[in-house]
Amino acid sequence: MKVIIDRAIPYIQGILEPYAEVVYLDGNAFTARDVHDADCLVIRTRTRCNEALLDGSSVKMIATATIGFDHIDLQYCASHGIEVVTAAGCNAAGVLQWVASTLAMLAKEEGWQPQERTLGIVGVGNVGRLVEQYAREWGFSVLRCDPPRHEREGGDFLKLEEVAALSDIITFHTPLDSTTFHLLDERIVGLIPRHATIINASRGEVASTEALLAAPQRLCLDVWENEPNINQALLAKAFVATPHIAGYSAQGKANASAAAVRAIAERFALPLTEWYPNEVQRVERQDISWQRMCDTIEEHCDLAAESTRLKSGEEDFEAMRNNYHYREEYF
């Protein structure tokens, strides 16, 4: 059995070696020659798994240590018997704390309390649900847009246009697919109040760069089109600007690595289904008041410092992302 792993995935080194030949490569350096005799790939978003990479290979499983799957050609994999497993929900709490830090910065800068703001959440899955839960507890009025959930469940979901027009802050947590590409375009930006803030911690291509460049609203961005070669004018414009690290908590990364190992263990009958990194402490979700969060979040997630660092150019986008010191979750 042969497994090829993105070398940037933490905690996994040495775990599969007793059971398989393991090769570590840079995520953007996987080639068809590398994977032709592999049984399993363990990847992040930087590895594009498509026909060009997989055709003629012996790959039976792709375990992506991410919540998204837009880097994988699911149709090709399904038609060639390649199982695809994601780490859905693995970093939801990490993204929540990135959003919380963003909200705390905005409140300090603009001088408001949650009871005075309406928060629109676009995409209410694993991440969006958690953002909704804490936002309601903190006192925000919350509006939700999630067409797939509305179709399944009914309820008080609104159309995107309604959420855009009624929100003081609108935050995007959708997957990237054909229905969400440039979901935030010039038309939707035109509906959002000029005083509002746009937050994107989903995928860069969910928002049109041109629409964001022309937007009068304040921008808080963790994801960008054409990563890592992002638009420098947009970088300079953003109030919060980070290199796709919203979910980069120690616990989120541990959850993702554990999910990948568990999937491989189940598929290939390895005794690793309960494995979790010893060096990471699990954190139980707990309530935290708005005031306490605002008083403590900077110690754990200092987005002002991270934005300054990215904008300074002292370290490029990909290097800053790959060398990021994983935050500890604390609520």
Catalytic residues: 203, 227, 244
Whether 198 and 222 have beta carbons less than 8 Å apart is answered as no
Which own/partner contact pairs does 130-138 have at CB distance under 8 Å and 24+ positions apart? 130/92, 130/93, 130/95, 130/96, 131/95, 131/96, 131/99, 131/171, 131/173, 134/96, 134/100, 134/288, 137/287, 138/114, 138/289, 138/290, 138/293
* Concatenated DSSP letters of 143-161: EEE-HHHHHHH-SS---HH
| Helix ranges (DSSP H) in 91-218 | 92-110, 126-138, 147-153, 160-166, 186-191, 209-214
Task: Give the Cα separation of 238 and 220 in Å (integer).
Answer: 6
Q: Which two tokens stand for residue 145?
A: 């847009």
Q: Which two tokens stand for residue 6?
A: 């993105």
Name the DSSP class of 24.
E
The structure tokens listed for 61 are 């499983």
- The answer to whether the CB of 163 falls within 8 A of the CB of 184 is no
- What is the residue type of 150? H
Contact between 14 and 35 (Cβ < 8 Å): no
